[in-house]
Structure formats: C-alpha cells, structure tokens
Amino acid sequence: MSRGWLIVFAKAPRPGLVKTRLSPPLSLDQCAEFYDAMLGDVLEASLRYAKEFDLEPVLAYHPPDGAAEMISRTPAGYRLQLQHGSGLARRMANAFAEACAGGAERVLLRGSDSPALEGALVEQALAGLDAGDELVLTPDQSGGYAMIAMRSPHSAIFDVAMSTGEVLDETLRVARSLSLRGSITAPTFDIDTDADLRAFETLMTEQGLDLCPRTVESFSSLARDPVL
C-alpha cells in the first residue's frame, strides 16, 4: 500500500480554457501550447516524485469531455479521474474527499502551472504531515499556493476566493479558525500572468531549469515571436 496520493490537477490544453490571463501578449492558441508544455513537464516530474516517495500518481482532469486528450498526454502509471464540482475550490475539496475515501492516508495536490516545483518540496510536505501538521502549503510568488497537502478532507479549507493574491493567507486563516495545525514549505514558482512569464525568463537564465525542458523550449519559441 502506498503512503498516499500525489494528485496533479489539470485541464485539457484547449485554447480559451487554459492560461487565458497570458492573453495578451499571447494568443489563445499560444496559451494552450505553452500550457501543454508545462503539463508535460509536471506529469513527468510528478511521476518521478510519486515513485521516489511511494505515492500513487493521480491525474485529476477537467472538463468532463477531456478524457481522450488527457489520456494521450499522460505517462503510463497514472490513475486518471474526473474532477467533480462547480468551480475550482469545490473540485479541489472533492478531490481530497475522494482520495481519502479511497484509502489515501496522505494527499498532496499540485497544480499544473508550476513546472519548477522540485521533489524536495514534496518531501517537505510529507515530512510536515508525518510530524503532525494537518495542512501543508507550498507558496507561490503571487500570494497563492502551488501545492496543498492534508491527511483528512477538511473541505472548509477551500472556502476562500481563489485566484487572488490572498489565497495563501486566507487559507491559513481558515486553518487557524478550525484549530488545524498548518505549515508551509519553501516556495516555488507558477505561471499565470505576463509578469510571471518575464520572471520565468530570469529563472531560466539564473537556474537553467533542467526540471522543465518542455516549458523552457516552449518559452524560447514564444520569445522568438515578436509578441514577446
């Protein structure tokens, strides 16, 4: 039996469905292509982390008619399951409930737009849970979080406005109101806006980002286009 589930939350990479806040400067087709590259890196890295830390890799996809698109992009070894619920927060809450109902003792859920998330952060989240934390968050640079880990499905944790600069702080506030012991890992980086794209270029230069070669190549291709 595995230690738990590592869930990648993702959407089918369709124009107009993914990374729309990158348009402009990108076209909707370019947004989808760039997201597709990030998703490929995230799925490959998460599969490695799952094997390293004895977790079951799960791809939770949206929308309901996206199964064929996701199957064609997903490495062997993943369990695929549909996201259920109206809105991102409810779908995340339901994913935790379904994982725990399926016997997962630790549940880590990460987004698909943080291709530089390292295995060390997965290790930190697991260590927090094993030390007694009931909630562990991995901050991103914009006030949200790129990964959330819990042992039990505390659905109220998701009763915050998503996609704002206060998501991390509000989630920790809710945890305190529920008397849940929470902690944060070292931060990582996600890509939602044009400013994030510019910062990603700096990271590429400074760190190389061997972890996400598809994303780097996709960005480099976009950078050769006059739009960037």
Q: Per residue in 180-195, pLDDT tens?
A: 999 999 999 999 999 9
pLDDT score of 2: 87
The predicted structure's pLDDT at residue 198 = 87
Q: Which two tokens stand for residue 202?
A: 């700096």
Task: Read off the pLDDT of residues 67-81 as tens digits, 9 standing for 90 and up.
Answer: 999 999 999 999 999
Does residue 83 have a pLDDT over 70?
A: yes
Quick check: 224 pLDDT over 80? no
For residues 105 and 85, what is the distance between their CA atoms, to the nearest angstrom?
Answer: 23
- Domains, the chain, in order of start with CATH, read 4-223 (3.90.550.10)
How sure is the predictor about 200, in pLDDT bands with cuts at 50, 70 and 90?
A: confident
User: What pLDDT score does 227 carry?
Assistant: 61
Q: Is the pLDDT of residue 223 over 80?
A: no
| Residues of the chain above pLDDT 70, percent | 96
What pLDDT score does 228 carry?
A: 59
Angle between helices 28-52 and 213-223 (to 10 degrees): 160
The mean pLDDT value of the chain amounts to 94
Contact 13, 31 (CB under 8 A): no
Give the ranges where the chain is alpha helix by DSSP (H): 28-52, 67-73, 88-101, 119-130, 167-177, 194-207, 213-223
DSSP state of 75: P
Query: Per-residue pLDDT averaged across 110-131, rounded?
Result: 97
In this predicted model, what pLDDT tens digit does every residue of 17-66 receive, in sequence order?
Answer: 999 999 999 999 999 999 999 999 999 999 999 999 999 999 999 999 99
Q: Assign 163 a pLDDT band (cuts: 50, 70, 90).
A: confident
The dihedrals phi and psi of 152, each to the nearest 5 degrees, come to -130, 155
Q: Is the pLDDT of residue 177 over 80?
A: yes
Q: What angle do CA 144, 121, 70 make, to 5 degrees?
A: 75
| Residue 206 confidence (pLDDT) | 67
Q: Using pLDDT thresholds of 50, 70 and 90, give the confidence band for residue 210.
A: confident
